Every structure is written in C-alpha cells, then in structure tokens.
Structure 1
Amino acid sequence: MKSNRKVRKIKGKVISNKMKKTIVVVIERKFKHKTYCKYVKRSKKISVHDAQNKAEIGDLVECAESLKLSKKKSWILIKILKNKK
C-alpha cells in the first residue's frame, strides 16, 4: 500500500562521521524574535544514516525523514550537495 504523505527533507552540514554508517548533521534556522524584532539563530543536531560512509566533515547534505532506525536515528542521507574542499 502506497502512502500519500509528503516526505520531510532538510539540508545541513556534517559535523561528525566517527560512527559506523552514521553522521551527525547540524541544521541552522533563522527567525525573527516577536518582542525584540531581531533575527535569532537556532541550531539542532540530528543523527543520519549513511549506508556507504561517503559523507565527510564539512559536507553539505540533504536528508529525508524515515522510519526509526535506532534510538536517536530516524533520518537517512539522500545525497551530498557540496563536498568540502
């Protein structure tokens, strides 16, 4: 049976690849503070499944939400957008 729900995708920067088949990606977002009307940065770290161990530290990657793979890992790597040079 096919699901019609839209898959969430995010872009982020790899900050760690020390685990087997897992990378840690940081996602940064900016929003305007309601009271002070200043732009504020917030970041979040997520664990992403990298089956081929291709991603390196500093790469810009695209990830998609999937079923839970482990306690903290529910995202999979789709593609590497920009390699670190």
Structure 2
Amino acid sequence: MAVKETVGLVVSDKMDKTVVVAVENRSSHPKYGKIVVYTKRFKAHDEKNECKAGDRVRIRETRPLSRTKRWEVADILSRAQKV
C-alpha cells in the first residue's frame, strides 16, 4: 500500500509538537477553464518542534495521533525567509 505524501506551507506552529500545514491544489474549472486554487489545512505531528511558520514541508499520512491529527512531518524542504 502506497503512503500518501504531499507538500505544503506551515501556517501555524503555536501548538506543542503540532503544526498546521496548508496544501494548495490548482485545477481548471470544468466549465470556464480558469485555474482555481483550493487550500486544505492539515494538522501534522512535529516531534522535535523544528518547523516554523513559513517553512515548506513534506507531510506523510500516518495512523491517528489525536482527534484531528493524521499526518506527520516527513522533512523540511525549505526554511522561511528572514525579514
């Protein structure tokens, strides 16, 4: 069985060992043809609290870890830009 993985942007890191990751899906509208962006937010497990808001991460599906948490951070692809 294949493991589901997806790439998204960390939008919140305020919880302990949990981050909220926004994943964008772009698809063409069936009738009008315009590109529509759908955003889905997942809660992902971050064991060492390494992720910060703005990081691009790869998340992987796992067993249920809490009521809403079914994903874990596989690796950090890029860090947030410092201002």
Aligned partner of residue 7 in structure 1, secondary structure: coil
Q: How many residues align?
A: 81
Percent of pairs with identical residues: 36
In structure 2, the partner of 1:9 is 5
Instruction: Report the TM-score, using the length of structure 2 for normalisation.
Output: 0.95
CA deviation after TM superposition for structure 1 residue 48, in Å: 0.2
For 1:36 and 1:55, the matched residues in 2 are separated by 38
In structure 1, the partner of 2:54 is 58
In structure 2, the partner of 1:27 is 23
Instruction: Report the TM-score, using the length of structure 1 for normalisation.
Output: 0.93
Gaps (5+ residues) in structure 2? none
Gaps (5+ residues) in structure 1? none
> How big is the alpha-carbon RMSD for the aligned residues of Structure 1 and Structure 2?
0.5
In structure 1, the partner of 2:70 is 74
Q: Which has the larger radius of gyration?
A: 1
